[in-house]
Chain A
């Protein structure tokens, strides 16, 4: 068994709104990322994917608050640490985070090298500009980016190039875990492929040890990551390897997500696009019991009667439903049979 890089146990974080209401956006989430593996997080918008990414850094600022649980990076517990301490010793060197649309956040009046100086000198103030430049040039060349980019302003770069530059800046200090939140959603297909190729190369060259990739595009997730966790209303509803979750989903919600996949492959054209009716619940007062119950087409009376736990099936596969595996498979088989008739 490979060594575990990131181990998250029952992490719970909340937002406090200005009316003093608690919104539990991440609710008892447990994850495990092994060395050399990547984890994908899927789900609709408003399911808490991005909040999970923010919480995993261990760097909390209002309105996001830490409640309970543990984040362990290579045996070191970082949950509940002082925010200043986290910024100095964790961000950039242990965990690196690429937020959504990070490429639009580059200051247009500064050259690219300036951002790298910022990052490096925050951790080591005695590095000279020359040393930083040499480090940056070496790093950019191994990542397949031309060194001229360093002396350019962000407006001189194309969208795909900007995104790759942002990734290169965020891995300049060789973090152990890279969290990428929708790194390719604003790009067209060709630039998206370049970004994915770069992320895969980072893993292969050992620049980063593991990666957490957040997106709602399931075909992309299937091709990029080893494992997938599906999130719904702040909870993980299904975990497993990419193949298991995409090709053989057990939870009705993951099954609904698979219904909206569109890929240009033969035999898939006639298939009806199915979408899940309704919207995710408001997390200010989440429904008791199964949170997916009101949108679920296989809803049972006991769904809303008791809290539903994660059923572990071994080998990292788990799902959150009142029905057992055999019952669920039976329902799906019957449905497929009826559709075929």
Chain B
């Protein structure tokens, strides 16, 4: 029932303009959305459609030119550093490139310890912190003994991305924003990462926002899909409606461009 769900994150007239005058680029153009609590949302579009700009605005990494973002019904306020940190306890992100998500000078333990400190565990005894880290690592099928005292470059891409999920497991945010989390890893690891994210979703009941260009992934995981073209949401709804009965030509094109198994792949439309 849609009216029973509570809205956790919403935006009205959200706009981002880069440059001015003749060189103006409208990256996100008057976008309205309501993301419900505990829902899995996908934002799909090709490169250059403004997905990542929207993600950065949701995270508070860039300011919006126009429009407001409402978090849990209240207007989001991140004008000071303290308020920003408070906001980031509720919303966290996984990015596309695991290799550039880590500080290369810090060991892996420091990454996880930071998360414990962020949740107010700074005064915990060291044994308790290790216990928490071991739990987080075992959640993502990593062995803490193998990871400790290592630098991020000593891990493989799949391990790094799983460590990212271990971070989220420790932080337990209300919203997780995943910006193309699986586009840099191979197809077999992709299923592993996705099933871990799904487990995390079931366990903590967090809201997941997937940003992806892979419409197949969006179809599999999400409860609702938003299709983005040139900074606007052109179509939205449940995955069965959007993918199996697309109304917009753009959506149809995106679906046609993905190679399929049981249907003919039409190469003539490029």
Q: Using CB atoms and an 8 Å cutoff, list the residues of chain A in contact with chain B.
A: 44-45, 159, 188-190, 192-194, 196-197, 200, 216-220, 222-224, 246-247, 256-257, 259-266, 269, 273-277
Contact = CB atoms under 8 A, between A and B. Distances in A.
B191 A259 contact: yes
A310 B213 CA distance: 39
Nearest to A159: B47
Counting contact residues on chain B (CB < 8 A from A), the size range is 35 or more
Q: Which of A197, A218, A246, A260 has the most CB of B within 10 A?
A: A260
Contact of B261 (A259, A263, A269): A263
Q: Main SS of the interface on chain B?
A: helix
Given A259-B191, A265-B260, A269-B239, A190 B270 contact: yes
Given A260-B187, A275-B191, A275-B192, A265 B267 contact: no
B187 A265 contact: no
Interface string B204-231: 0000000001111111100000000000
A276 B188 contact: yes
B263 interface: yes
A274 B191 CA distance: 7
Contact of A193 (B240, B243, B257): B257
Contacts of A44: 186, 188-189
Q: Which of A218, A257, A269 has the most CB of B within 10 A?
A: A269
Contacts of A222: 259, 261
Interface of B: 46-47, 141, 158, 185-192, 194-195, 213-220, 239-240, 243-244, 253-255, 257-263, 265, 267, 270
A230 B112 CA distance: 38
A193 B216 CA distance: 15
A296 to B, nearest CB: 14
B194 to A, nearest CB: 6
Contacts of A263: 216, 258-261
Nearest to B256: A193
A260 B191 contact: yes
A275 B188 contact: yes
Contact of A192 (B215, B243, B257, B260): B257
Contact of B267 (A200, A259, A275): A200
B190 A189 contact: no
A256 B243 CA distance: 26
Q: Which of A44, A192, A223, A262 has the most CB of B within 10 A?
A: A262
A219 B259 contact: yes
A278 to B, nearest CB: 9
17 contacts: A44-B186, A45-B185, A45-B186, A189-B214, A190-B46, A194-B270, A222-B261, A246-B261, A256-B188, A260-B187, A262-B190, A262-B217, A262-B220, A263-B259, A264-B260, A269-B220, A269-B240
A216 B260 CA distance: 15
Given A262-B217, A264-B243, A217 B47 contact: no
A21 B141 CA distance: 29
Q: Which 7 A-B pairs have the closest CB atoms?
A: A275-B191, A260-B191, A262-B216, A189-B257, A216-B186, A219-B259, A264-B219
A219 B220 contact: no
A220 B46 CA distance: 18
Given A188-B46, A216-B186, A197 B261 contact: no
B152 to A, nearest CB: 18
A262 B188 contact: no
Contacts of A218: 187
A290 B220 CA distance: 33
B262 A265 contact: yes
A220 B187 CA distance: 12
Nearest to A271: B220
B60 to A, nearest CB: 27
Q: Which of A220, A247, A265, A266 has the most CB of B within 10 A?
A: A265
Given A222-B259, A264-B255, A276-B188, A196 B219 contact: no
Contacts of B185: 45
B200 to A, nearest CB: 15
A278 B186 CA distance: 14
A269 B219 contact: yes
A189 B188 contact: no
A45 B189 CA distance: 9
Contacts of A190: 46, 253, 257, 270
B4 to A, nearest CB: 24
Contacts of B195: 273, 275
B191 A273 contact: yes
Contacts of B194: 273
A189 B218 CA distance: 14
A263 B217 CA distance: 7
B254 to A, nearest CB: 7
Nearest to B253: A190
A265 B254 CA distance: 13
B236 to A, nearest CB: 16
Given A262-B214, A262-B216, A220 B259 contact: yes
Given A216-B188, A269-B220, A269-B240, 19 more contacts: A45-B158, A45-B189, A188-B46, A188-B47, A189-B213, A190-B253, A216-B186, A217-B187, A222-B259, A262-B190, A262-B220, A263-B259, A264-B255, A273-B191, A273-B220, A275-B188, A275-B192, A275-B195, A277-B141
A262 B243 CA distance: 13
